A and B are shown apart, each in its own frame.
Chain A
Amino acid sequence: MVDNPLTKNIDMSRPPLEIAAYEAADGYQSVRLIAKGLSPEDVLQQVKDSGLKGRGGAGFPTGLKWSFVPQGDDTPQQKYLVVNADEMEPGTFKDRLLMEGDPHLLIEGVIIAAYAIRASKAYIFLRGEYVASERLLRHAIDEAVASGFLGNNILGSGFDLELIVHTSAGRYICGEETALLNALEGKRAIPRAKPPFPQVSGLWGKPTIVNNVETLCNLPGILTYGVDWYHGLTKGSDHGTKLFGVSGRVKTPGCWELPLGLPIRELLEDYAGGMQDGLALRGFLPGGGSTDFMLPEHLDTALDYDEIAKLGSRLATGTMIVLDDKTCPVGMVGNLMKFFAKESCGFCTPCRDGLPWVEDIFRDFEAGRGNEKDLQILHDHVDYLGPGRTFCALAPGATAPLGSGLKYFKEDFERHIKEQCCPYKH
């Protein structure tokens, strides 16, 4: 049995596996199990038992989420599964790998999830810029339809599923699951209030599950090789493997499937090859642009949801952005703030009007116009834009690098003020 279920078929030097080769590598076994009589309840139970947590950022247990979909005759018969393939978080490059490397794995995951929640229609909400993913997914879907894995009465199971690729017109907020639903409905992608959760009233008001690409790619392995096998993959308290990426000035940036629970140092030094020559590590964002900075002293922490949370950051997408000692931390945070300010949907006040102010202040710092008053305003905004203050999690995401950056790189902010310029530019 394999220990890299997500990437076992991936070799980016060649096109992804066609359906026959994919099937030969244990592919679509789970669909055959379903055809043999595995019930939706069984699937749900196995996924619950597997302990799989969502890989889209929030880390919510997948099985539990599915169990909130109302089932029974007196509930809406139309239910939807939506794949969140909007990957746009700065520094995140894992779902692209899965879709371009092994599209059938995602399709198989979709079938399993849709079956478990009894959805007869599924949409892949795909980032518009991912044109290669779109092409490969469409091709793979055609193959799956031709082989009877998608469409009506899948392999004689009585289960119908239509899978549609929807390409986004582009905005980071579309990754937020309720904004995504609005975008899919052709509306402005403004997040929705929760409750009601999409599980109860989602796409076109119908019960809907939104899952991340990587989350769904975990499902075929769980069903094919079993929960015990899945539990055996990990090195820490969370189950399964995960894609981890490293970007920044390291020797060999990249993305690897590794068991959860590996020490960060191993990822950075063994896989990413350590820092480029002449550079030292200043800090890193462990899971994409909306996680808190961690420092070299945290390198021995395990890549595990809880361990990282203990240090005030989040594992989130598992794609690490590395800050070296020749790059300005103020500039790096400023870059992120510009991103968040521009990608705010404009619905709630703190995010809409607070982030541009923060962005402006960073621009002033860069241009040598930093001052104490503005530094205070940055500090104020960490609280002001924090969790529970805004309508959705976009602005709180921005406060993660902002707050931790202000804390860990205090002297850099002060030097910008004192020297009235960016000290890294000289």
Chain B
Amino acid sequence: MSKQLIASSGQRARQLTAAEIADIDHEMGIYPDKQAVGLEALKIVQKHQGWVSDESLLAIAGYLNLPAAELEGVATFFNLIYRQPVGRNVMLFCDSVSCWIMGCEGLKAHIKETLDIDFGETSAEGDFTLIPVPCLGDCDRAPVMMVGEDLHRNLTTEKIDEIISHYRRGEGGE
């Protein structure tokens, strides 16, 4: 793997896993150039690791021979690429207009009280990270949030308590 000597920042790329490499190679057949695969690779690594660390980013850059700076520019542009570690469950909490009208602010306050986290924070147990997300496109059933890949609609404080304990029991996800 070629690395540029002077680029050294003390950080080293990690080794990509075989599963990550297989997924990335698959994308190479779909897109005509490496730059497009770069963004896909960020998503793939995040799927496997939960987030994209510097070491992962450098690994992708090395594997695809893309400039790390360019990849960083892409990774930091998009909302759904996490450049910081997240908890086991990511709560994508819709704070857009319909949910706001339907009272999402109160629910957000409730989450904050229950889990002691604000937007962008991870609970002390490491089980939840709360992230605001623009309109989830389910406005007729507002307020809405996603936890992992599951959509939860018509939220109330009671529902939120249920959801939290549900995931705490490890029943989340498919």
Contact = CB atoms under 8 A, between A and B. Distances in A.
B155 interface: no
B97 A253 contact: no
B136 to A, nearest CB: 6
B101 A249 contact: yes
Given A130-B137, A204-B32, A169 B100 contact: no
Contact of A319 (B35, B133, B139): B139
Which label, helix, strand, loop or mixed, suits the secondary structure of the A interface? mixed
Interface in B16-47: 30-33, 35-40, 42-43
B139 A88 contact: no
A323 B140 contact: no
A158 to B, nearest CB: 23
A87 B36 contact: no
Interface in B72-129: 73-74, 77-81, 92, 95-98, 100-102
Contacts of A168: 78, 80
Contact of A91 (B32, B40, B97, B146): B97
Contact of A88 (B40, B43, B134, B140): B134
B39 A169 contact: yes
A171 B97 contact: no
Contacts, number: 134
A115 to B, nearest CB: 21
Interface stretch (A23-31, A136-144, A327-335): A327-335
B39 A186 contact: yes
11 contacts: A92-B137, A93-B137, A96-B137, A96-B138, A129-B133, A170-B133, A186-B31, A321-B97, A324-B101, A335-B96, A335-B100
Interface string A166-206: 01111110000000000111111100000000000000100
Interface of A: 87-93, 95-96, 127-132, 164, 167-172, 183-189, 204, 245-249, 253-255, 285, 289, 319, 321-324, 327, 331-332, 335-336, 338-339, 342-343, 345
A187 B66 CA distance: 12
B100 A188 contact: no
B3 to A, nearest CB: 21
B163 interface: no
Contacts of A245: 139-140
A90 B134 contact: yes
B149 interface: yes
Given A204-B32, A321-B101, A339-B97, A169 B80 contact: yes
Contact of B135 (A91, A186, A285, A345): A91
B37 A343 contact: no
B61 interface: no
A416 to B, nearest CB: 17
